[in-house]
């Protein structure tokens, strides 16, 4: 089971809970994270979901959160807003988010997108070549 750290900047937190509860049926566990708790959550959070219901008013705050998370974590980052304008979507992607979604995205679709991303991320980690320490006297054979 993967952990989604939800950073909720929206005013209508009841809707967020319903959306997240619909998302977290089988493969995910949601944990609400305060803006000041991001550093503590990074070791056990697979995905950060920044949720906001104001399309343009929190762009600078969202950018700060993205930079903070990206600088200290390799977790996936998604931004969920009621609507995105083209500029903010591009800015968020340039800062390193893995995706932008709006409220028209059903939880079932987001669940599949996030699950596929986590499977691919974990496969990439498993497929990385392992470093092997070769004794100095054996290195001659490798040349």
pLDDT in tens, 57-103: 788 999 999 999 999 889 999 998 877 788 899 999 999 999 999 87
Distance CA 136, CA 73 (A): 35
pLDDT digit string, tens, across residues 33-53: 888 888 888 788 999 999 887
Contact 39, 75 (CB under 8 A): no
Q: Provide the angle, in degrees to the nearest 10, between the axes of the packed helices 86-95 and 59-72.
A: 20
Indicate the pairing of strand 76-81 with strand 2-8: unpaired
What pLDDT is stored for residue 37 in this prediction?
Answer: 85
**Assigned token pair, 54:** 């104001």
Q: What is the pLDDT of residue 92?
A: 95
Q: What is the pLDDT of residue 12?
A: 67
């Amino acid at each position: 089971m993967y952990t989604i750290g939800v950073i909720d900047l929206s005013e209508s937190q009841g809707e967020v809970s319903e959306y997240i509860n619909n998302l977290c049926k089988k493969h995910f566990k949601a944990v609400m994270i305060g803006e000041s708790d991001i550093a503590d959550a990074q070791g056990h959070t697979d995905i950060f979901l920044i949720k906001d219901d104001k399309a343009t008013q929190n762009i600078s705050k969202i950018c700060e959160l993205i930079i903070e998370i990206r600088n200290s974590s390799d977790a996936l980052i998604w931004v969920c807003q009621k609507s995105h304008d083209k500029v903010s979507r591009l800015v968020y992607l340039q800062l390193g988010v893995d995706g932008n979604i709006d409220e028209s995205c059903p939880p079932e679709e987001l669940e599949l997108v996030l699950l596929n991303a986590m499977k691919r991320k974990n496969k990439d980690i498993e497929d990385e070549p392992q470093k092997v320490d070769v004794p100095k006297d054996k290195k001659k054979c490798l040349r």
